[in-house]
Amino acid sequence: MALPQYTDVLIVGAGPTGLACALSLIKQGCSDITIVDSLPQGQNSSRALVIHAATLEALDKIECARPLVQAGINATTIGYWDAGSFVQTGSFDKLASYTSFPMILLISQSVTERVLEEQLKHAGVTVIRPCTTTDMKANEHDSHISGVYFENGQIVHARCVIGADGARSTVRRIAGVGFSDPDGETSEDDVANSKFSQMVLADVTFTAPLDLPYNGIIFVISPDNSFLIAPLPPSPDAPSEQLYRIGFGIPPTLGTPPHSPSVSYIQSLVDAWGPGRMHTAATSSSSLSPHKVTIAKMLWATRFRIHSAVADTFFTHLPLTSRAGDDARVDGADTEARGGIILLVGDAAHIHPPAGGQGMNLGLRDAVALGPVLAAYVKRVKASTSHGQVNTATDDSDLERSLRDWAATRRGRALAVIRMVKILLRAVTLPDKTSWILGIIPVNLHTLRNLIMRIITRLGWVRMMIAWRLSGLGFID
Ligand SMILES: Cc1cc2nc3c(=O)[nH]c(=O)nc-3n(C[C@H](O)[C@H](O)[C@H](O)COP(=O)(O)OP(=O)(O)OC[C@H]3O[C@@H](n4cnc5c(N)ncnc54)[C@H](O)[C@@H]3O)c2cc1C
């Protein structure tokens, strides 16, 4: 499919957030949109495991929640294994008074993307692939429009550009927007002292299905690591077998995990920290070696480094002189002659560790929330334009206020989620060593945490509050 010469909104990236953005704009009657992706087809990569209730509420507005709920596993519980029994920490069914989706939906990201792209096709929009954005500059004749350059030499003139192009966003780089950890970068000492700074994930089947205590997410927190397991819906590659997502922290002593972990590498982690540990300690003496659990098939595996970053702003104007690779940047706010509007969503705007399954969720909610605001902007700016020329800077700033508000609100949410995820991660990775209070009282933080969690999670409202925080329902959208 050919690129148009002009479009009101160009969405760069057809991952979950780009697709959701397109659907949200269409829902608001904004039809002149173009969505491109550098990949010849969808990523088909499992990655995000969970869709939370607030995200399903948002996706319901673009008619995607029901097909996703049908395709996934509607789980209601998260918890962890401790000293031979399971402790439930979050009860999502208790959210039924607040949402039509009282669940954590377990679904692979590849299925989520497939459902969103199918809905987009139904709406009459096809992702243009493979099509890589390389550069942008302000249009010489209309400084409110950006010329967006593609690898194949084509140029698209766009009134607004949405950077939905992932953590290494080209759009963000061209716009000259910074991207860093709000608390400063982690030092090498911190990394060396942390329980783990890398994680490995895999989707696997086992030679025999596991006898898990409930349909949800289970963490096995051992003194030296954390292991996660959750059931996934059947995959076309293993249609009749029970599929599981498993995840491990990689302690610094194991070195950097391989980029594409092999079955034998994952099996070695399963042997050391995997489900066999639960079986052994739950059913027999912990002095026995763990029950052997063997991987039958591995459908997908990856490793990644745990870190956080947020864009300095989610909204900017393309600086007039900005071209990819230029050192000199002009701050869009200081120059009158600027290019079109640039907005950042999803991983292009924020990334953080996977604890609590928040990454894709936040991105999807950014995207759905942007639709009405941007559609209204496009409508107003077109109405206030005579012969392609927008009026004065004052008009601009008035027109753009809602976009700036959207950007500030979403950035605030991203910072709040980064804070929450960091606290969660710290709680999960507490060291198993004794500290001394006032030099006389020995405290093992790992044991103390387990004891406190065991006591407070007996209370139903505590389990509901944990589910509430993770679900995202505490925010309005
Ligand atoms: C290994 C791994 C595990 C993860 N696990 C979880 C998890 O368990 N839970 C969770 O919530 N999140 C998880 N995440 C995060 C989650 O995958 C992301 O939050 C989500 O993919 C963000 O979606 P996005 O659409 O913003 O970006 P992406 O999914 O990265 O999509 C960006 C798209 O832009 C395209 N693109 C990039 N550059 C260009 C260009 N110049 N021109 C055109 N197209 C371009 C890419 O091809 C891609 O399709 C994980 C991420 C990784 C990497």
CATH number at residue 376: 3.50.50.60
- Answer yes or no: do 178 and 207 share one domain: no
Ligand 1 pocket mutation pick from 165, 303, 306, 365 by most atoms within 8 angstroms of CB: 165
Strand-strand pairing, 216-222 and 341-344 = unpaired
Let me know if residue 78 belongs to a domain: no
Distance 350 CA to ligand 1 centre (A): 11
- Answer yes or no: do 317 and 299 share one domain: no
Domain boundary among 305, 329, 348: 305
pLDDT the model gives residue 440: 79
- Answer yes or no: do 384 and 312 share one domain: yes
- Answer yes or no: do 112 and 32 share one domain: yes
The set of residues, in sequence order, having a beta carbon less than 8 Å from that of 242 and lying 6+ positions away, is 205, 206, 209, 210, 231, 234
Q: Is 3 exposed, middle or buried (0-12, 13-18, 19+ CB in 10 A)?
A: middle
* Cβ 51 under 6 angstroms from ligand 1: no
pLDDT the model gives residue 23: 98
Count: domains in the chain: 2
User: CA 184, 189, 190: angle at the middle one, nearest 5?
Assistant: 55
- Answer yes or no: do 37 and 130 share one domain: yes
- Answer yes or no: do 201 and 350 share one domain: no
- Answer yes or no: do 151 and 220 share one domain: no
| CA-proximal residue: ligand 1, atom 6 (nearest) | 48
Let me know if residue 214 belongs to a domain: yes
pLDDT the model gives residue 338: 60
- Answer yes or no: do 293 and 319 share one domain: no
Is residue 206 within 8 Å of 293, Cβ to Cβ?
yes
| CA-proximal residue: ligand 1, atom 37 (nearest) | 165
- Answer yes or no: do 200 and 277 share one domain: yes
User: CA 53, 59, 61: angle at the middle one, nearest 5?
Assistant: 115
Let me know if residue 262 belongs to a domain: yes
Ligand 1 pocket mutation pick from 133, 347, 470 by most atoms within 8 angstroms of CB: 347
Distance 359 CA to ligand 1 centre (A): 9
Is residue 69 within 8 Å of 56, Cβ to Cβ?
yes
Is residue 156 within 8 Å of 171, Cβ to Cβ?
no
CA atoms of 312 and 317, how far apart (whole Å): 13
| CA-proximal residue: ligand 1, atom 35 (nearest) | 13
**Run means of pLDDT, 10 residues per run, the chain, 477 residues:** 93 98 97 96 84 97 97 92 79 95 95 96 96 89 86 94 97 94 73 70 92 84 83 86 92 86 95 75 45 90 90 86 46 52 97 86 97 95 66 66 96 93 80 75 80 86 91 77
| CA-proximal residue: ligand 1, atom 8 (nearest) | 48
pLDDT the model gives residue 399: 80
Q: In b/e form, how buried is each residue of 82-99, taking b as 16+ CB within 10 angstroms?
A: beeebbbbbbbebbeebb
pLDDT the model gives residue 131: 96
CA atoms of 200 and 249, how far apart (whole Å): 7
User: Residue 237 corresponds to which tokens in the numbers above?
Assistant: 């590659």
Which spans in 157-289 are helix H?
Answer: 170-175, 188-193, 263-273, 275-283
Let me know if residue 116 belongs to a domain: yes
**Single-letter code of the amino acid located at 342:** I
- Answer yes or no: do 14 and 143 share one domain: yes
Ligand 1 pocket mutation pick from 3, 10, 37 by most atoms within 8 angstroms of CB: 37
| CA-proximal residue: ligand 1, atom 39 (nearest) | 165
* Cβ 166 under 6 angstroms from ligand 1: yes
Let me know if residue 365 belongs to a domain: yes
* Cβ 472 under 6 angstroms from ligand 1: no
What is the separation of C-alpha 146 from the centre of its chain, rounded to a whole number of angstroms? 28
| CA-proximal residue: ligand 1, atom 26 (nearest) | 346
Distance 11 CA to ligand 1 centre (A): 14
- Answer yes or no: do 300 and 316 share one domain: no
**Single-letter code of the amino acid located at 291:** H
Let me know if residue 243 belongs to a domain: yes
- Answer yes or no: do 243 and 277 share one domain: yes
Cα distance between the two ends of the chain: 34
* Cβ 363 under 6 angstroms from ligand 1: yes
3-state helix vs strand vs coil in the chain, percent to 5 = 35, 25, 40
| CA-proximal residue: ligand 1, atom 14 (nearest) | 48
CA atoms of 29 and 165, how far apart (whole Å): 24
What element of type H or E holds 410? helix 393-428
> Which ligand 1 atom is at minimum distance from the Cα of 302?
1
| CA-proximal residue: ligand 1, atom 49 (nearest) | 15
Domain boundary among 280, 305, 330: 305
Listed residue (120, 68, 9, 61) closest to 368, CA to CA:
61
Q: DSSP class of residue 254?
A: G
* Cβ 354 under 6 angstroms from ligand 1: yes
| CA-proximal residue: ligand 1, atom 3 (nearest) | 47
Let me know if residue 464 belongs to a domain: no
Let me know if residue 407 belongs to a domain: yes
* Cβ 170 under 6 angstroms from ligand 1: yes
* Cβ 39 under 6 angstroms from ligand 1: yes
Residue 302 to residues 247, 248, 361: CA-CA distances in angstroms?
Answer: 10, 11, 20
pLDDT the model gives residue 167: 96
| CA-proximal residue: ligand 1, atom 31 (nearest) | 15
Domain boundary among 427, 448, 468: 427
Residue 312 belongs to domain spanning: 6-72+107-184+308-427
* Cβ 12 under 6 angstroms from ligand 1: yes
Distance 101 CA to ligand 1 centre (A): 24
| CA-proximal residue: ligand 1, atom 19 (nearest) | 360
User: If you count them, how many residues does the chain have?
Assistant: 477
> Which ligand 1 atom is at minimum distance from the Cα of 303?
1
